[in-house]
Amino acid sequence: MRVLSLNIWHDAGPWEARRAAIRKELERVAPDVIGFQEVLLGEGVDLAAELVEGLGYETDFVGASDFFGRDGVRFGNAVASRFPIKGRSEEALPDADDGERRAVLSVDLDTPYGDVSFSSTHLNWKFHHGNVRERQVLALCDHVRARRPKGGFPPILVGDFNAGPDSAEIRYVSGLQSLEGRSVYFVDAWDVAGEGSDGISWSNRNDHARHWLEPDRRIDYVFVGPPRRPDGLGQVLRCELFGADLVDETWCSDHFGVVADLRTDPIENPGEIA
């Protein structure tokens, strides 16, 4: 199963060219399930539907906030799936009471590999909001873990976490430290199966990111629950960046996305190492 996380930067910049570039990359990479962030839905706009129109996906959306004074338009996360979406839930995440709102959208997918729970999220962006993101990942991981089909495929969590791998919030999700006396463990797909680079997803190579004067960093993730034993379902086999090069002289977004391939064929010999 191929999954993608991509912050699409709503409809900012040269949107028509960016939309065409994203669609071209989607057709090339052919993900089975996509988590989009910074999506707009409302009066006269449905960005997720625009991006996957005619490509064989179902979509769903959660709004986190109204969008910058555009009446009737919500800003949030979306999921696009080639598998039928048979259930959903959403949850508002903790905030700093400063107007920035975040949410998670989780969908239940009917796949040939059994039921799969897939979640797309986007955490607070400010550098000094590590304490907010810590509260967000506590709520987020509780939400995602509660939706895993019992004994089924490991839960998948993707998104723009706005934090590097060495931050407390990402270390918590990755099982490297506790928060408030609690701990969890999700596999960081890039950490175990990245393509050999540093996985930078916010890069000053990208014209759309450079003008913000922020450092290069890895802030976009695909997380997966531990692979099922002994058959290995959900094991991360491969991970690469999406949109990390110009497409027809256009950057897809201000972020690079993350693509991961997950095992769906059971390991015949449990001693096999992929």
The closest of 44, 7, 25, 4 to 162, measured between CA atoms, is 7
Buried/exposed code over 47-81 (b: 16+ C-beta within 10 A; e: otherwise): bbebbbeeeebebbbbbbeebeeeeebbbbbbbbb
Tell me what pLDDT residue 270 has. 60
Instruction: Tell me if 133 is assigned to some domain.
Output: yes
Domain assignment present for residue 274? The answer is no
**d(C-alpha 79, C-alpha 117), whole Å:** 11
99: left (phi over 0), alpha (psi -120 to 50) or beta: left
Q: Which helix (H) or strand (E) holds 22?
A: helix 15-29
Q: What is the pLDDT of residues 146-178, one digit of tens each?
A: 998 887 899 999 999 999 999 999 999 999 999
How much is the pLDDT for 197?
86
Give the count of domains, the chain: 1
Asked whether residue 268 is domain-assigned, the answer is no
- What is the spatial distance between Cα 174 and Cα 136, in angstroms, rounded to a whole number? 15
Q: Calculate mean pLDDT across residues 104-123.
A: 97
| Model pLDDT for residues 190-238, shown as the tens digit of each residue | 999 997 889 999 999 999 999 999 999 999 999 999 999 899 999 999 9
Check which CATH number belongs to the domain holding 74 and give it.
3.60.10.10
Instruction: Tell me the average pLDDT across 8-26.
Output: 98
Query: What's residue 95's pLDDT?
Result: 95
At residue 214, the pLDDT reads 96
Name the pairing type of β-strands 220-224 and 45-46.
unpaired
Burial class (CB in 10 A: 0-12, 13-18, 19+), 223: buried
Does 55 fall in a domain?
A: yes
The reply to whether 270 falls in a domain is no
Please check the confidence at residue 273 and state whether its pLDDT lies above 60.
no
What's the pLDDT tens digit per position in 57-106?
999 999 999 998 889 999 999 999 999 999 999 999 999 999 899 999 99
How far apart, in whole angstroms, are the C-alpha atoms of residue 272 and residue 270?
5
95 assigned to some structural domain: yes
- 16/142 Cα distance (integer angstroms): 38
Domain that holds residue 50: 2-262
One-character DSSP codes across 203-228:
-TTSHHHHTT----B--EEEEEPPPP
What would you report as the CA-atom Rg of the chain, rounded to the nearest whole angstrom?
17
Reduce the DSSP state of residue 27 to 3 states and report it. helix
pLDDT for the residue 150? 82
| Amino acid 148: pLDDT | 87
Cα dihedral sign, 205-208-214-220: negative
